Chain A
Amino acid sequence: MKVVRALSVLALAVISFATAQTITIAMVPKFTNAQYFAATQKGGQEAADALGVKFIYEGTVNADIDGQIQIIDSLIARGVNALVVSPNDPDAIVPELKKAQAAGIKVVTYDADANGGRDMFVNQATFDSIGKGLIDALVKETGPKANYAIVSAAATAANQNAWIAAMKAYSAANFPDLKLVDIQYGNDEPQKSFQVSQDLLNAHPDLNGIISPTSVGFPAAAQAVEQAGLAGKVAVTGLATPNGMKQFVEDGTVKTVLLWNPIDLGYLGVQAAYALVKGTVTGPGDTFTAGRLGSYTTQQDKISMNILLGPPYEFTKDNINNFDF
């Protein structure tokens, strides 16, 4: 017992010594096996290098909320200064984030939000702007009188559901003849997303378009359309990284890919975490400089505050080859 206590005192001393030296910011993505999150890691690392802070990137291979909670718990024990997290579940993550806050750690959510326990949400684009962008991209191809379906990630994914709600609201207000026939979930698994897209095409021969607001579902849906020989007849649009979509844009299956820049998102997440740790930002309305991205002012929301990366970006045949992420 004495030994354990002595060791724990020693360990604490080591931690406090280490943290007095450098600031450590840890980024925890939803999962690591996607180009999208690899791009946010790249941005996070870039910001950390620019700021001279230690950067840890650690996540589970697959979307796994249990594993994510354990990773955050270990980061708390390791005494990081700030967490930049993309939660797999907006509710289940909350107790662990609150625990981090209680330990004096600044918590930033990025890519997806949590329903509590965070100091700031770095929002990649407003839900309304994504909803509008996707519906507009669809209507540009199908015309305002059309049937479309959605291939989403998991039914529990918070931002997916928010985008779907925004799409519904925008199309109801502007395109009354646009009909959403079905929503299916591919759980961010390529194989499953592919199969549900295929089944949607088969079950609805009068389908005019598919929207997939997920970087795993979108290429899978495009592939299903291509393999069914329906390229040009069924429009496909959604959110994904340009690298995953280049071949479909080049062969004409996909006309428009929507996304923000995930490198910038990761970069901004780490910059925001640094501003919180340094005390540059303490509440809504504060302004900080996020390196090469310029200055941001925080907005109040019902949990704490958020900042907005900017409007989503449209990738088309003309510009998609200029990007590599």
Chain B
Amino acid sequence: MSDQAPTDAKPRRRFTLTVEWVLVGILILVGAVMAQLSPEFLTLSNLLDMTRFIVEIGLLALPMTLIIITKGIDLSVGSNIALSAIIFGFAWHAGVPLVLAAVIGIATGTLAGLVNGWTVAYLGVPPLVTTLATFGAFRGIALGLSGGRGVSGFPDWFYVLGQGDIGPVPVQLLVFIVAAIAFGVLLHVLGYGKRVYAIGLNERAAKFSGVRVRSLLLRLYALSGFMAGLAAIIYVSRVGTAKGNAATGYELEAITAVVLGGTSIAGGVGTITGTILGLAIIISLRFGMILGGVSANVRSLVLGLALIVAVLAYGLLTRKRT
């Protein structure tokens, strides 16, 4: 947590490029191994189909990348999905038109994100503490309001979002692609991205050079909440029901993908491309092993070890450069 951050930006850019090529290499390796393990893995239909199980986590991982670059973290996103899903389901159940209910659900997620952002940016509570609290609070509200009951029986057209295809491509994968492009532009093209890196490298220096740190952080955590709300709608459409126990543990999966993708928890380093590759590696590993009949325990063992090895490798890469 207290690793000192190198200050000049140039070698870093070259480093991130390296990390991404390493990730591409790992992905190819994983694909080859999984194809050996199961003949069904390397089929176009499977490769597309399995992305259904990572899109919601992916939607969380995109803003998480930005948040971790600012040295922050958002542990509340999984709980936020449950909260947004419950509000969405209840609103629809109470007679609100489905599209409007979805808007209300996403607004709930955004509002929850604003609570995080305000507490972090204006009250000055560390992100880990803030979102640890709202991790419990949001899940608690979702469970308490629903009391174990869920809402299901949505109209058939709604299920297209989470279960349908356009051509051979799952609908939610298209949503993710659009979101990923938007976040790529936000972080790597617009001035906003430069300010995000600046905060992560040195918050005080960023403040002095005119970055409005507080307002940026507020909006960033709100954006994370917005994406959780969006993920909630897709989640409900995929599993056909809105329940308080939705998306349990998603926050850790999203963080794992981001870190695997080369974003440093010490702040200031990370790319959207890396996160996408991290997501691709995780789902290929996990689903490939399920297909190959690898037992659940070995599956999680491999995923955990992969994370350690990847971070160790990044450590070696950075040390060589500096």
Contact = CB atoms under 8 A, between A and B. Distances in A.
Task: State if A and B touch, Cβ cutoff 8 Å.
Answer: yes
Interface of A: 4-5, 7-8, 10-12, 14-15, 32, 56, 58-61, 64-67, 69-71, 73-74, 77-79, 89, 91-92, 94-95, 99, 115, 154-156, 185
Contact of A95 (B43, B150, B163, B248): B163
Contacts of A4: 42-44, 47
Contact of A74 (B35, B245, B287, B297): B287
Contact of A15 (B39, B50, B286, B295): B39
Given A11-B39, A11-B40, 16 more contacts: A8-B44, A8-B45, A12-B43, A15-B40, A66-B53, A74-B291, A77-B40, A77-B291, A78-B291, A89-B241, A91-B152, A91-B243, A95-B163, A115-B152, A154-B245, A156-B149
Interface string B29-47: 0000001001110111111
B147 interface: yes
B239 interface: yes
Contacts of B152: 91, 94, 115
A89 B43 contact: no
Interface residues of B, number: 38
Main secondary structure of the interface of A (DSSP, over half): helix
B245 A156 contact: yes
A7 B43 contact: yes
7 contacts: A8-B46, A69-B53, A69-B239, A73-B287, A78-B38, A94-B241, A95-B238
A60 B286 CA distance: 13
A11 B42 contact: yes
B303 to A, nearest CB: 13
A58 B39 contact: no
Nearest to A160: B148
Interface in B123-161: 147-150, 152, 159
B243 A156 contact: yes
Contacts of A61: 296-297
A7 B32 CA distance: 12
| 5 nearest A-B residue pairs (beta carbon) | A155-B148, A8-B43, A91-B241, A92-B239, A74-B290
B240 interface: yes
Contacts of A56: 293
Contacts of A8: 42-46
Nearest to B151: A91
Contact of B148 (A66, A74, A99, A185): A185
A60 B296 contact: yes
A88 to B, nearest CB: 10
B240 A91 contact: yes
Which of A15, A74, A91, A155 has the most chain B CB atoms closer than 10 A to its own CB? A74
Contacts of A65: 239, 245
Contacts of A32: 296
A155 B50 CA distance: 30
A269 B296 CA distance: 23
B240 A77 contact: no
Contact of B53 (A70, A89, A99): A70
A184 B67 CA distance: 38
Contact of B240 (A58, A67, A70, A95): A95
B203 interface: no
Interface in B209-232: none
A92 B147 contact: no
A91 B291 CA distance: 24
Contacts of A67: 296
Which of A67, A71, A99, A115 has the most chain B CB atoms closer than 10 A to its own CB? A67
A73 B239 CA distance: 13
Given A4-B44, A11-B40, A91 B53 contact: no
A55 to B, nearest CB: 12
A321 to B, nearest CB: 33
A78 B288 CA distance: 11
A260 B174 CA distance: 48
Which of A60, A73, A92 has the most chain B CB atoms closer than 10 A to its own CB? A92
A77 B296 contact: no
A133 B62 CA distance: 53
Contacts of A92: 239-241, 243
B291 A94 contact: no
